[in-house]
Amino acid sequence: MGLEVACLEVACLETGIILQMDGMFNLYLSVNFYFMKKIFAKLIIFLFLLGNCFTLKSQYTSIPDGSFEIYLINLNIDSGPIADGQILNSNAEAIDSLSISSQFISDLTGLEAFTNLRYLQINTYFGSTLPIHTMDSLNELYLNFVSVNNPNLSQNTNLKKIQFTNSSIDTLVITNNTNLEYIGLGSLNCKSIDFSQNANLEILLIQNVSMDSIDITSNQNLIKLVCSDSLNEINLTQNHLLRYVTLENNFISEIDLSQNSKIKSLNLFKNQIDSIDLSFQDSLTLLGLKKNNLTKLDVSNLNFLESLDCDSNHIKILNLQHNPVLRWINCASNNLEQLNVQNGNNHAILIDYEFDTRDNPNLTCIQVDNVAFSNNTWTNKDIQSYFSLNCEYDLGLMQENFTDINLFPNPNHGTFQVKISGLSKRMEIEIYNTIGQKIYHEFTVNSNCAVIETNLSPGIYLLKLKDQAGNQFSTFIVE
């Protein structure tokens, strides 16, 4: 009987079943509570330690790329001194500005730990990941020589400035980034970009991005536009606040500037524009029209114009009398026959390279304020061109009366022949020096050839032939 009771007691203890037997109830109950409390205590300790492990783990973010972690250690951001594949989150969260430049980094996993970044610049990164989705405070993002094809900016809604250059980006979605004020894109593979949701945009710079058109009609706060690409056309009629416009190296053939009266700088270098209306641009100070197809140019209302570059066009007449603050003139490589720069302030153009009229074979006389000053300061002109206070280039009088004029030899030593076909009965011959003084005068009657002998000093001279129908001019050089 004693053995049976003992076995029952053990069974009760193992199963936790409490039986009243032989007055031992309290003993069994006491022993049972003892074991249960011991097990419960161990369970509490286990759960506490497990919780601490998870808490400790959540204080770190994995950085699998050792080069990236070493880079952060060198910046004293990661605690180091050796790479252990992780960064303490509190260290990353303390940083608000970060620049990364290393060709050895191939994976930026772990960058997401920098949740408080406001400025991020990445140069020379050939990985495919760009984990910036956690950076909702990011204001400025710069990517240069980055191989990421499609950066995800959807969570970076506080971005105000982005600049992506020399990268593999072929898709750029910025419809969620409505706070953007500055966008700079250069040497990318994007074919099209939607700017319609970027109403706060003030500066847009696009160079070599392979887009043949852009729509900026929704960007009415735009102040500066640079697009040097392969555009066929552009609509600026909704961009009334534009101040600075550069549209270089495009295929634009016409442009409407009637709604852009605030433009101060306009550069349309290397397009296909054959005419341009500048009558609304009375604030313009810089005008660049080099390498277009212009045959005429009216800048008479541009009273604040300081710089004019119309090199390499087909312009015949250029009157700059009404541009009193001009400091830079380049009208080389045109078909100029008439050039008037007598604006009362030629002394503002003090350096030779700031005045260029070369490669205009039909330009003889250039009307200026002061002949001596121009001769001493401006040498970038053709040999047949000279400066004068009064060029008689009234195109109403410069008729094509003579089918042919030959002056030879030219240069000469003061004696030369003039042969004229289509001559009327009476011809008046005059010679002027470069300051507009008439130094020779002769009449010919019924002759299509005249031999002229002079004692002229070496220099450039203007020969004026005049008959009943009008005037014809030619220049010659005395050696």
Rounded CA separation 191/433 (Å): 59
Considering the domain architecture, whether residues 384 and 334 belong to the same structural domain is answered as yes
Residue 61 reports pLDDT greater than 50: yes
Q: Residue 72 falls within a domain, yes or no?
A: no
Considering the domain architecture, whether residues 338 and 386 belong to the same structural domain is answered as yes
Pairing state between β 97-101 and 119-125: parallel
Considering the domain architecture, whether residues 334 and 314 belong to the same structural domain is answered as yes
Considering the domain architecture, whether residues 419 and 344 belong to the same structural domain is answered as no
Q: Residue 328 falls within a domain, yes or no?
A: yes
pLDDT reported for residue 415:
76
Rounded CA separation 136/96 (Å): 12
Cα torsion angle, 22, 25, 27, 31, sign = positive
Q: Residue 439 falls within a domain, yes or no?
A: yes
Percentage of the residues of the chain whose pLDDT score is greater than 90: 65
Rounded CA separation 328/350 (Å): 9
Q: Which of 346, 366, 393 represents a domain boundary (last residue)?
A: 393
Q: Residue 242 falls within a domain, yes or no?
A: no
Q: Residue 31 falls within a domain, yes or no?
A: no
pLDDT reported for residue 438:
80
Of residues 40 and 157, which shows the higher confidence score? 157
Considering the domain architecture, whether residues 377 and 450 belong to the same structural domain is answered as no
Does residue 361 have a cis bond before it (omega within 30 degrees)?
no
pLDDT reported for residue 423:
54
Nearest to 415, CA basis, from 473, 454, 449: 454
Q: How many domains does the chain have?
A: 2
Q: Residue 288 falls within a domain, yes or no?
A: no
Task: Determine the structural domain holding residue 325 and report its residue range.
Answer: 309-393
Q: Which of 357, 374, 393 represents a domain boundary (last residue)?
A: 393
The two structure tokens encoding residue 26: 């309290």
* pLDDT tens-digit map of 174-205: 999 999 999 999 999 998 999 999 999 999 99
pLDDT reported for residue 22:
47
Question: Looking up tokens 């053709």, which residue turns up?
Answer: 382
pLDDT reported for residue 421:
62
pLDDT reported for residue 121:
98
DSSP states of 371-422: HHHHHHH---S-TT-EEES-----TTT-----SEEEEESSSBSSEEEEEEES
Of residues 79 and 65, which shows the higher confidence score? 65
Considering the domain architecture, whether residues 363 and 424 belong to the same structural domain is answered as no
pLDDT reported for residue 29:
42
Q: Which residues share a beta bridge with 418? A: 407, 450
Q: Helices 25-58 and 2-15 sit at what angle, rounded to 10 degrees?
A: 30
Considering the domain architecture, whether residues 411 and 447 belong to the same structural domain is answered as yes
Considering the domain architecture, whether residues 335 and 409 belong to the same structural domain is answered as no
* pLDDT tens-digit map of 4-24: 444 444 444 444 444 444 444
Q: Give the list of residues 6+ apart from residue 54 with CB closer than 8 angstroms, or none.
A: none
Mean pLDDT across the stretch 74-96? 93
410 pLDDT band, cuts 50/70/90, is confident
* pLDDT tens-digit map of 322-378: 999 999 999 999 999 999 999 999 999 988 779 999 999 999 999 999 999 999 999
Considering the domain architecture, whether residues 387 and 408 belong to the same structural domain is answered as no
Mean pLDDT across the stretch 389-404? 52
Contacts by residues 366-373 (CB-CB < 8 Å, ≥ 24 positions apart): 366/339, 366/340, 366/341, 366/391, 367/339, 367/340, 367/341, 367/342, 367/391, 367/393, 368/341, 368/342, 369/341, 369/342, 369/343, 369/344, 369/345, 370/346, 371/434, 371/435, 371/436, 372/435, 373/346, 373/347
Q: Residue 34 falls within a domain, yes or no?
A: no
* pLDDT tens-digit map of 277-309: 999 999 999 999 999 999 999 999 999 999 999
* pLDDT tens-digit map of 135-153: 999 999 999 999 999 999 9
Mean pLDDT across the stretch 420-435? 68
Report whether 115 contacts 134 (CB < 8 A): yes
Considering the domain architecture, whether residues 445 and 422 belong to the same structural domain is answered as yes
Rounded CA separation 292/285 (Å): 20
- Return the percent helix, strand and coil in the chain, to nearest 5: 15, 25, 60
Considering the domain architecture, whether residues 416 and 383 belong to the same structural domain is answered as no
Highest mean pLDDT pick, 240-254, 387-401, 446-460? 240-254
Q: Residue 331 falls within a domain, yes or no?
A: yes
462 pLDDT band, cuts 50/70/90, is confident
Q: What is the pTM of this model?
A: 0.75
Rounded CA separation 249/272 (Å): 10
pLDDT reported for residue 475:
62
Instruction: Specify the CATH number for the domain of residue 423.
Output: 2.60.40.3080
Considering the domain architecture, whether residues 422 and 387 belong to the same structural domain is answered as no
Mean pLDDT across the stretch 68-76? 95
Cα torsion angle, 342, 347, 352, 354, sign = negative
Average pLDDT, the chain: 84
Pairing state between β 459-467 and 426-432: antiparallel
Q: Which of 393, 412, 443 represents a domain boundary (last residue)?
A: 393
